[in-house]
Amino acid sequence: MVETRLKAAEDGLTGRARPETEEDQQALAGELDALWSGVYYFRNEPESSIVCAQRALDRLPETLAYLRALAHNFLAFSGRLVGQAAQSIDRLRQALDTTELSSMNVTGRLLNSLITTYATQGALRQVAQTSDTLSKMAAANNAVFWQQWAYLYLGLSHYEWHQLETAAGYLAPIVDSRHYATGLQYREASVYLALTYQAQGWPDQANQVLERLRDWIFKTSNTRFLPQLTSFQARLLLAQGQPAAAMTLSESIELDVNNEEFMAAESSGRTRAKLLLAQGTTASLEAAARLVLQLLQVVDQQHNLWRKAEVLALQALVYDAQGLRAPALIALEEAIDLAQTGQLIRTFVDLGPNLLPLLHELRARTSNPAYIDQILAAFPGSTASKPPLHELIEPLTKRELDVLALLVQRYTNKEIAATLVISPLTVKKHTAHIYQKLQVNDRRAAMTRAKELKLFDNER
């Protein structure tokens, strides 16, 4: 339908109804090029998408800023698919520096494209920093749509860093105000929030989020989300100790590995591989090994380094279950190397305790075990070593100490914001940094750690 209409519009460029001036003809041609770029991107034809996007940017005047931003969007996404993520990031930064950002929609489109490209590379520090910028600009312009995207990316970043309370603080508002979120925003926020609750040891709350998502899908007839919902339900059942029921659900989905949504929180292929691994039979492990190889091929084709780290860690578990310790360690080492830049934590923890022996063995071989120690410390019941009580991995700033002092006194975020005359969002940002430096995941642990470290004068 879209392609038919685009072709009809192109025919209009040479017909009697074509624009009168050359300038208007070029602008219309540029608009069509931008739209064709999107069509080719979703067809998985990145080279054609790049050609159309570049031609659109050559034709479109600067005054049509949103259409230019759309062209930049597909140029970046398609560029990543052909291995040009670094160039895509540079082009988006240049566009942000040179474009007249008179509209929040233009700014939001460019920033969102940049955030997504960073995410595919596992560069979560840059994801969070750029999302924070987007959040502030959206708040200043009362742009709820872009605010929701910023909160989603901040939530998934903090979830991945195992900063669970902070993650929930960003994700819950999206889920609670679903009437202001797009279907994609609501689905992704719901999945990450359920994962956050499960990781916090609250399976009932995780299941409630899942049920609300299911109800919404049927009420709004968004049935295209049903395969991901079913797969995610299987994933939660596995995490909650029900592998047989989980496999029954997963097998009701027809896998299409070549068209997996690897940037989505849930992927039916990855979940199926985890379930085959959990079965632990010779046949299921062979099936898991074949599926993991397929997944690796696709993430390589898409140049998605974040998901490649997860699939490699899955491959390590499959090798280890087959008694192949040496290739298991090689695969896990590659996964760790890919994940270290973004400090990915839950990517590994969510694969379960069978990964622990491999992580410990790899730690013993490395000269810089600090990152692996962070991963080990996030496992439930972990006794992984932390810095001595008198040490911090990085000193707290004066403002972070101010926030922590009020946290210890059990102030809420709103009360802290009012006391320090800062915004609640700034409080969240400081709290996330505090948790990271103290190597804790929530307020209670931060309070305990602060007392252990005797950070305040009256405790020295």
Q: Which is nearest to 169 in space by CA: 433, 427, 457?
A: 427
pLDDT at 221 over 50: yes
Domain ranges of the chain: 1-121, 124-236, 267-343, 398-459
Q: Report yes or no: 306 and 121 within 8 Å, Cβ to Cβ.
A: yes
Q: What is the CATH number of domain 124-236?
A: 1.25.40
Q: What is the CATH number of domain 398-459?
A: 1.10.10.10
Mean pLDDT of 268-274: 95
pLDDT at 119 over 60: yes
Secondary structure letter of residue 181 according to DSSP: S
pLDDT of residue 460: 38
Q: Say how far apart CA 364 and CA 318 lie, in whole Å.
A: 21
Q: Which residues contact 323 (CB under 8 A, 6 or more apart)?
A: none
- The two tokens of residue 241 are 């100790």
pLDDT of residue 8: 64
Top pLDDT among 208 and 442 is at 208
Secondary structure letter of residue 223 according to DSSP: G
- The two tokens of residue 429 are 């940002």
- The two tokens of residue 416 are 């802290």
Query: For residue range 71-88, what is the model confidence (pLDDT) as tens digits?
Result: 988 998 899 888 888 999
Classify the C-alpha dihedral 307-49-4-66 as positive or negative. Answer: positive
256: left (phi over 0), alpha (psi -120 to 50) or beta: beta
Tokens 């960003």 -> residue: 170
Assess whether the region 124-236 and the region 398-459 belong to the same CATH fold. Answer: no
> What is the average pLDDT score of the chain?
88
Confidence of residue 328 (pLDDT cuts 50, 70, 90): very high
The CATH architecture that domain 1-121 belongs to is: Alpha Horseshoe (1.25)
Angle formed at CA 39 by CA 34 and CA 43, multiple of 5 degrees? 145
The percentage of the chain sitting over the pLDDT mark of 90, rounded to a whole number, equals 53
Distances in Å between the Cα of 287 and the Cα atoms of 59, 83, 169, 274, 439 are 50, 29, 39, 11, 38
Query: For residue range 344-395, what is the model confidence (pLDDT) as tens digits?
Result: 999 999 999 999 999 999 999 887 789 999 999 999 876 554 445 455 657 8
